[in-house]
């Protein structure tokens, strides 16, 4: 069940979720990351890229 919730949370970060929500989602994912296999590693990389883009947008 946790795996399902985290997956949905990560997908939602690409749908213009507020910045603070993205950060919360990222930390939740990072905490649980050790419990997952490589199944979500690509999503993790995509999320990091997405977070960098959001930071750039917030600064500009």
Question: What pLDDT does 39 receive?
Answer: 52
Domain ranges across the chain: 2-59
Assigned token pair, 4:
């399902």
Of 34 and 44, which is predicted with more confidence? 44
Question: What pLDDT does 3 receive?
Answer: 41
Q: Containing H/E element for 1?
A: none
Answering whether pTM is above 0.85, one says: no
* Distance (Å, whole) CA 55 – CA 33: 22
| Cβ atoms < 10 Å from Cβ of 6 | 20
Contacts of 51 (CB under 8 A, 6+ apart): 22, 23, 26
């Amino acid at each position: 069940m946790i795996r399902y919730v985290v997956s949905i949370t990560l997908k939602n970060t690409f749908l213009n979720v507020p910045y603070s929500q993205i950060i919360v989602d990222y930390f939740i994912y990072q905490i649980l990351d050790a419990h997952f296999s490589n199944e979500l590693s690509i999503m993790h990389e995509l999320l990091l890229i997405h977070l960098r883009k959001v930071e750039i947008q917030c600064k500009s």
